[in-house]
């Protein structure tokens, strides 16, 4: 008897391997540090992102003081509250899974850390230059998420995104709107704990990466063209040599 497939309804992309790992690690860190406990205070003291910690010697143990250079990586997995981590992981799944399917897990993970660390660097530099809140911690992978949003808008510009699950907006306009909001918010900062500098930094590093990734491909194309021309010249020289040998073999030798 013929078998008929069952129709399925999907409310989002499949949970890809690297996105799943990032969700698991981030959720585990959040569960360990969410309650107001000494563990949370210790984690935020040494693993959140503070410009002061990167530009000064911080005492670790008696007699040992170092700048906490690992903070631009570790701050990505700390979050301030429940909604903070839920929204970041939701956006990571919704937009990151399609990028991982397109790029593969290694390139996607590289992009995640590139935009996340880049967001932290921009946040630190601007706060140091402006001498603003250099001891206030920044936590969360929102910078990486904004980098992922930018890549999604560039690579899938016409895909619809439903605002409030009702209003369809093309991805390119959604991403552009998010960028404009963050830029305006960074110019006129309100009393908020949101690091708009980090969000813009993630988008900036994502844009630079996507622009720069075109250059190696052009170099590779030119190399392939040069290699084909070189092989063509070698083949022509070989054929000339073979023709000469045939001509010499047909002559009388005294």
Tokens found for residue 236:
């022509």
Q: What is the pLDDT of residues 88-109, one digit of tens each?
A: 999 999 999 999 999 999 999 9
* C-alpha separations of 225 from 40, 231, 234 in Å: 57, 10, 14
pLDDT score recorded for residue 71:
93
Q: Is the pLDDT confidence value at 58 over 90?
A: no
**Cα distances (Å, whole numbers) of residue 120 to 9, 20, 75:** 38, 23, 8
pLDDT tens digits for range 212-230: 865 455 555 555 666 677 7
Task: Kindly report, residue by residue over 18-39, the tens digit of the pLDDT.
Answer: 999 999 999 999 999 987 778 8
Half-sphere exposure of 172 (CA within 13 A, CB side): 5
Predicted TM-score (pTM) of the model is 0.76
Q: With 80 as the cut, is the pLDDT of residue 193 above it? A: no
| Class (C level, CATH) for 17-212 | mainly alpha
What pLDDT band is residue 72 in, cutting at 50, 70 and 90? very high
What is the pLDDT at residue 134?
Answer: 83
Q: Where residue 246 falls among pLDDT bands split at 50, 70, 90?
A: low
Could you tell me where the DSSP H helices lie in 104-195? Answer: 105-130, 142-155, 171-187
DSSP H or E segment with residue 58? strand 58-61
Rounded-to-integer distance, Cα 119 and Cα 211, Å: 17
Other Cβ atoms within 10 Å of 5 Cβ, number = 5
């Amino acid at each position: 008897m013929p078998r008929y497939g069952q129709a399925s309804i999907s409310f989002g992309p499949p949970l890809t391997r690297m996105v799943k790992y990032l969700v698991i690690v981030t959720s585990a860190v959040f569960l360990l540090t969410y309650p107001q406990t000494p563990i949370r205070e210790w984690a935020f003291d040494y693993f959140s992102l503070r410009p002061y910690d990167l530009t000064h010697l911080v005492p670790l143990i008696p007699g040992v003081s170092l700048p906490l250079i690992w903070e631009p990586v570790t701050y990505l997995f700390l979050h301030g509250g429940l909604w903070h981590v839920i929204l970041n992981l939701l956006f990571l799944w919704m937009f990151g899974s399609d990028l991982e399917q397109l790029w593969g897990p290694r390139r996607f993970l590289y992009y995640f850390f590139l935009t996340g660390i880049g967001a932290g660097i921009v946040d630190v530099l601007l706060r140091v230059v402006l001498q603003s809140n250099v001891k206030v911690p920044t936590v969360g992978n929102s910078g990486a998420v904004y980098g992922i949003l930018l890549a999604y808008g560039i690579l899938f510009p016409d895909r619809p995104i439903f605002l409030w699950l009702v209003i369809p907006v093309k991805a390119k306009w959604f991403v552009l709107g998010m960028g404009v909001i963050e830029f305006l918010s960074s110019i006129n900062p309100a009393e908020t704990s949101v690091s708009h500098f980090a969000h813009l930094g993630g988008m900036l590093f994502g844009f630079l990466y996507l622009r720069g990734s075109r250059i190696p491909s052009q170099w590779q194309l030119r190399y392939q063209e040069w290699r084909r021309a070189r092989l063509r010249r070698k083949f022509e020289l070989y054929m000339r040599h073979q023709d000469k040998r045939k001509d010499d073999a047909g002559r009388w030798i005294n």
